Chain A
Amino acid sequence: MLRRGSGPLLWLSLQAALVLVSCFTDMETGPGAGVSTQPNGDRFKIEGRAIVPGLKTQDWVSTARVLVEGEEYVGFLRTDGSFAVNDIPSGSYVVEVVTPTYRFEPVRVDITSKGKMRARLVNYIKTSEVIRQPYPLQVRAVGPHSYFMKRETWGWTDFLMNPMVMMMVLPLLIIVLLPKVVNTNDPEMRKEMEQSMNMLNPNPELPDVSELMTKLFSGGSKGPSKAGSSSKGSRPAAKRRFLYH
């Protein structure tokens, strides 16, 4: 059984759909029973026009077909883009214009036993929902079919804009370029920098967390001097260079 997507609300509307639809279509001539039981019953035609904006009809009509309920009924396009699918008993049908190049939205067309026509949007979930469409049908191509994926091409910009690369390159730039830009020989600047360094490290007496940890785990007096040297070593060195170079 079909599982309901979003609970009782949808179910309710589905039921409503059923009632509505059964009111609208004549049961006797429904798509299931009608064809076989009464071959000489009234037959109707579905008319409309298909348009591909910005294109002459001659260029595409020879590849197009109008399909009603799959291939149950087939119609062809006239040279001006209009079409008529003949010989259809009353019922409710999905009408679709198919071409290999352009995409058209399908339309549902309801025909009563008296031959009254109405077109509406196709909605397979809420089958009774009526959003009227013009009849005779006016089908406009939504655009060309998109069959292809875009290849992932490799470009310098893609490479450079990659966040990983950015993260790597920017600090490198700062390390290399900043000393050149900022004149470190200027005593005032040096002072300012020292101040800012102190700002960054507000409490010089507070031990470093990593140092604390290594102390804790290694438990010996050897630990900090060895383990800390690798993690800390670079920074003082850098600082030194920074200041006295």
Chain B
Amino acid sequence: MEKLILLLLKLCILVCVVHAVFEDQVGKFDWRQQYVGKVRFSHFDTQIQSSKKVLVATESNVFAALNTRTGELLWRHVDKTGPEGNIDAYLHYAQDTVLVVGNGRMLRSWDVNIGGLNWEILLDSGSFQSACLVGQQGIVKHVAVLKKTVISVHYLSNGHQKWIENLPESETVDYQTVYSDGNGQVFVLGIVPHSHITIVVYSMEDGEIIKQVSVEAPWLSNIPGSCVVVGQGMLMCVDSTTLSLNILDLHQQLQMTQIPLQSLGLEVDPGFHPSLVSHQPNPAQKPLSEFFLQLGPERILLLQLNNGQIVKLNDFKPLKVLLASFATTGEKTVAAVMSPKNATAYSINLFSADTGRRLLDTTLIFPVDPNGGKPERLHVQAFLKKDDSVGYRVMVQTEDHALTFIQQPGRVMWTREEALSDVVTMEMVDLPLTGTQAELEGEFGKKAAIQDGLLSMVLKRLSSQLIMLQAWIAHLWKLFYDARKPRSQVKNEVSIENLSRDEFNLQKMMVMVTSSGKLFGIDSKTGGILWKHYLDNVPSNAAFKLMVQRTTAHFPHPPQCTLLIKDKDTGLATLHVFNPIFGRRSQVTPPALPQPILQSLMLPLIDQDYAKVLLLVDDQYKVSAFPSTKNVLQQLQETASSIFFFIVDSSQGRLSGYRLRTDLSTEQVWEVAIPTEVQKIVFVKGKRPNEHVHSQGRVMGDRSVLYKYLNPNLLAVVTESTDLHQERSFIGILLIDGVTGRIIHKAVQRKARGPVHVVHSENWVVYEYWSTKSRRNEFSVIELYEGMELYNSTVFSSLDRPHAPQVLQQSYIFPSFISTMEATLTEKGITSRHLLIGLPSGGILSLPKMFLDPRRPEIVSEQTREENLIPYAPELIIRTEWFINYNQTVSRVRGIYTAPSGLESTCLVVAYGLDIYQTRVYPSKQFDVLKDDYDYMLISSVLFALFFATMISKRLAEVKLLNRAWR
């Protein structure tokens, strides 16, 4: 019986905390954007004339098909991150794509029509060099894969190995490329540095060596970098030291003929390494005899090899050629050439490849974003028009990872900002007030107003009220106007100009920083990109920290964000100060930082312009402030004694606390050493500064109060053992007071290893780890309580807390791996908390914190029931109803950002990884606003019905009274 009651209770609680998405809310408050990453290989599907597919393989280990009309994803396959999923080579034939993955570890063939796998085979280990399709009599049936010491040929239909051969003299010869042109032979080219080229010719049928020749070429070091095969199997190499072209007939292999570039009347730009581009439209046939030669950053020529002679077809003068690319449709091959038109536009022209003549009516002019990167690659899709002339579309890839698809005569069909596939950090900034709101604000805000006197103040008030009235009428008129139009035409175009804060501050500006150095401003309501800014001097291994120095709340002053960009190797940092609403660089000049930066911290101090003070600590432990006005320095001197900070040195295993002196130098206060030979520090997590805790304690079943230990300076330090053996590995968690260095609590989880995910908030720390003993993921929660009495209820000071807190801990089994974890955040902290857990399957689970409560009892008693504690169960459950993103999965979630909104019940959530997903969550349901399904019809009809019922009954009663009187 007791069990039954327990079960009922549990069910009841479960039902109470369930808060799923309703089906009609799909897409109402949430949006998702899917990305693929920086494109490495691309291929336009030309199987069918009307095909709308472009296949891309990217540096994020993604293979996807995009719709060329809209730029949307048709399908996408996301492989493992890191080198094991790296796409090394891309080969395409008919409707199959063959990818070499993971440094030649795997060969995969995809059916591009349905996006399914044809076959996958594991190759022998060995470093991958090159791969090519091998054709015979115009049909491609095989694929050849060259590795350091071995060459193998596989059937294209099922991946089975046809033959595998060891390469001769592979200890001395560095084999680099494999080439085939459809005559039943496979050429393997290798070099002995500073000596000669080795050419091994294999028979396609049985893998026998037909020929093996060496040709002198002491200057050559890298075949793929400087050589191409042109025409009837002629290897053409460019030598950047002697500035000459060298030609070798692969079929004859006698010797290299050298043609100096000067003899052709060509000159190389000083310091430029010339390069060659050839084109092989069909892998079963010979490549074209035309090729590009690039002589400078803005100089590319179209040349032809004709009977051993090099003919200049076109040098494209006077165009400055940035990029050039071949494209083939049917029998025709064209060369697309891109050159700058003016400062904000580029033009592309088409030339016939075999004659070098310009094709008429093929100019395409398109604008470029001045805040974007330079074009990097040109992908051309050529097609035959009805009149047999060649039409084309281009996909331009820029160095900020953006893809722009352009149609003639320059219409931009779509743009994909692939930089957003790698968001590093983000912030949500409140939108500014509208003009009218600002006007009202300005009335009281300006200091001059005080001196104006009564009459002018009244006038000012009247005028601002008038403006508001005007705005309201305009709004009403727009509503009326829109209501007459059909629904589909009414579009609320969001642009920077009409951005304004809404009633409940639910719409915000998402400032996203990507690893490529491109910054984005995205409207959180629609997901539209409102501004973008490419920082072109960002080092490739930069670490970013984004801080909001001034919010939009201080009206005449523009909001201000500061991005700290730090080179991970040197430690040198730069600051980028910008306006988060418009994305423009701020007028404030950031200080130059000549020393490596160890730590940066935002202080709650503000200067006279309401900007928060940013402190930067350099490697000499000197502190500099930004902004560093007199006012700020004075404030710093006054408060220096209460400014503490900590520095983590995970390589040395040292965690040290410092205090600021009045002369802006620092002194070390404490140090905690963690021996690096045993364990290493993986995380140090403090609490979020904008977090509010509403209740100081918890009411127990017996009406007493258990007070929370709310130390804002508490740090959670997570360590992992260096010994990864499953019997001896452990993870440790230390709770340290950041001011005094006092260790509040220490816990060690034996037979556990990372990756560890931690959330630290209020008075609790939740962490997740892998238990090597039971091979499962486990959650553990630590809660800290002061006890039944508060030591000092008005203010918390780390220096004056004599009693150690009570520590409660409990652990649970979690039936899935997790990618990332974050807690919801609301304005006042009244709403109950949920944990948002990103799962590898792409779901984002919203798990009530209630389930992770160390006071969950094993045995239910009257008191625990009174407290609404759920009885302990070892396993946490994952319910798909708790997925806040329903079927909108987010691949490779790396981070979840939560921000409070103006409504206490609502928390804004952005999950980012390969995709970006934005939504709102209501951890305690929408208690402060009418739900969106509120039935206005019902309530009004009931009211009307009651009203009429009273009217009628009143009338009836009157009649009855009258009748009675008559009786």
Contacts and interface: CB of A to CB of B under 8 A. Distances in A.
B125 A40 contact: yes
Interface stretch (A75-83, A164-172, A215-223): A75-83
A103 B116 contact: no
Interface of B is mostly: loop
A117 interface: no
Interface string B733-771: 000000000000000000001000000000000000000
Contacts of B729: 32
A201 interface: no
A74 B815 contact: no
B943 to A, nearest CB: 15
A27 to B, nearest CB: 7
A195 interface: no
Given A67-B840, A86-B106, A151-B933, A2 B811 contact: yes
A18 to B, nearest CB: 7
Interface string A91-128: 01000101011010000000000000000001011010
Nearest to B882: A147
Contacts of B80: 71-74
B858 A3 contact: yes
A124 B881 contact: no
A84 interface: yes
B20 A149 contact: yes
A5 B873 contact: yes
A146 B841 contact: no
A235 interface: no
B875 A32 contact: no
B620 to A, nearest CB: 38
A87 B775 contact: no
B775 A78 contact: no
B351 interface: no
The interface centre, meaning the residue of A2, A67, A98 with most chain B CB atoms within 10 A of its CB, is: A2
B117 A78 contact: yes
A244 interface: no
A119 B772 CA distance: 20
B841 A31 contact: no
Contacts of A127: 774-776
A78 B121 CA distance: 12
Given A57-B116, A62-B75, A79-B117, A146 B935 contact: no
B114 interface: yes
Contacts of B881: 146-149
A206 B115 CA distance: 88
Given A62-B116, A67-B841, A149 B21 contact: yes
B726 A30 contact: yes
B763 to A, nearest CB: 20
A43 B842 CA distance: 28
A33 B853 CA distance: 33
A87 B83 CA distance: 14
A151 B120 CA distance: 45
Contacts of A77: 116-117
A45 interface: yes
B938 interface: yes
A63 B811 contact: no
B688 interface: no
A148 B20 contact: yes
Given A45-B122, A149-B21, A71 B817 contact: yes
B775 A31 contact: yes
Contact of B874 (A2, A65, A71, A151): A2
B751 to A, nearest CB: 10
Contacts of B875: 124-125
A200 interface: no
B817 A125 contact: no
A14 interface: yes
A69 interface: yes
A77 B111 CA distance: 11
B425 interface: no
Nearest to B24: A151
Nearest to B812: A2
A151 B77 CA distance: 35
Interface string A13-25: 0100110010000
Interface string B717-738: 0000000111001000000000
B880 interface: yes
Interface residues of A, number: 58
B842 A147 contact: no
Contacts of A14: 774
Interface in B48-95: 75, 77-81, 85
B587 to A, nearest CB: 45
B78 A65 contact: yes
Interface in A161-184: none
Contacts of A185: none
B18 interface: yes
A212 B138 CA distance: 112
A61 interface: yes
Contact of A87 (B105, B117, B813, B938): B105
B115 A62 contact: yes
A3 B811 contact: yes
A191 interface: no
A72 B818 CA distance: 12
Nearest to B813: A124
Interface stretch (B331-339, B342-350, B883-891): B883-891
B879 to A, nearest CB: 9
Interface in B921-949: 933, 935, 938
B58 to A, nearest CB: 15
Contact of A74 (B79, B778, B858, B880): B79
Contact of A33 (B114, B118, B725, B873): B725
A100 B842 CA distance: 8
Contacts of B725: 32-33
A1 interface: yes
A182 to B, nearest CB: 24
A127 B938 CA distance: 53
B114 A147 contact: no
B22 interface: yes
A230 interface: no
Contacts of B554: none
Interface in A13-56: 14, 17-18, 21, 27, 30-33, 36, 40, 43, 45
A5 B753 contact: no
A58 B115 CA distance: 8
Contacts of A239: none
B584 interface: no
A96 B841 contact: yes
A103 B880 contact: yes
Contacts of B813: 2, 124-125
A154 B935 contact: yes
A98 B880 CA distance: 13
Contacts of A79: 111, 114, 116-118
B880 A149 contact: no
B31 interface: no
Contacts of B77: 62, 65, 76
A4 interface: yes
A124 to B, nearest CB: 5
Interface string B861-887: 000000000001111000011010011
25 contacts: A2-B874, A3-B858, A17-B774, A18-B773, A18-B774, A21-B775, A30-B726, A32-B725, A32-B753, A40-B125, A62-B77, A62-B115, A71-B817, A71-B819, A79-B116, A84-B120, A87-B102, A98-B842, A100-B842, A100-B887, A122-B815, A127-B774, A147-B21, A148-B20, A148-B23
The 5 lowest CB-CB distance pairs between A and B, nearest first, are: A70-B817, A62-B115, A79-B116, A147-B886, A62-B75
Interface of B: 18, 20-24, 75, 77-81, 85, 102, 105-106, 108, 111, 114-122, 125, 724-726, 729, 753, 772-776, 778, 809-813, 815-819, 840-842, 858, 872-875, 880-881, 883, 886-889, 892, 933, 935, 938
Given A33-B725, A70-B818, 8 more contacts: A32-B724, A61-B116, A67-B841, A76-B116, A78-B118, A79-B114, A127-B776, A148-B20
